[in-house]
Amino acid sequence: MKRADVTEAVLSAKRAKKLGWNTIAKKVDPKTSPIVITCALLGQMVLTEEQAKKAGKLLGLGAEAIQILQEIPYRGSLPPGPPTDPLIYRFYELVQVYGTTFKELIQEEFGDGIMSAIDFDMTMERLPDPKGDRVKLVMSGKFLPYRRY
């Protein structure tokens, strides 16, 4: 069994049981962000043994799948090149349009370095708007300066 097989099993069970990601996350670990739990169940993060067992029980996963959910994944689930899914493409488009601005503003404020995707936090909320509801994402990553030798 491969991690991709586990992801497919998770998605199948989610569909069959008519569960939403927030519901799954709360049952797996109400103290952990639903974004982290969802990311792990989609194969991009690691669950603790306790979280993996709860997810396995909820979704009807076997012992091997539960073990795989606890293993460090090979991260990066998108194929090379621009993504074709319209929602994911919009994030790619954001980076294409605003990436150099993000880089300049972050490095002007913090210096030469990067925003970590490892020591990272994200929240999402829906904002009602008369012109159409809006998606609010807040991302917070630790700044990691480049070392000088």
What's the confidence (pLDDT) of residue 81?
84
Distance CA 147, CA 112 (A): 9
Vertex 42, ends 38 and 47: CA angle to 5°? 65
Please give the tally of structural domains in the chain: 2
15 is catalytic: no
End-to-end CA distance of the chain: 44
**Structural domain contains residue 79:** no
Residues 74, 3: contact at Cβ < 8 Å?
yes
Positions of the chain with pLDDT lower than 50, given as ranges: none
75 is catalytic: no
CATH at 117: 3.30.1160.10
Do residues 133 and 90 both lie within one domain?
yes
**Structural domain contains residue 141:** yes
Do residues 90 and 63 both lie within one domain?
no
Residues 69, 38: contact at Cβ < 8 Å?
no
Given 71, 93, 104, 140, which residue is catalytic?
Answer: 93
Distance CA 125, CA 45 (A): 22
Can you give the residue range of the structural domain that contains 27? 3-68
Whether the predicted model's global pTM rises above the 0.85 cut? no
Amino acid identity at 5: D
104 is catalytic: no
Do residues 91 and 61 both lie within one domain?
no
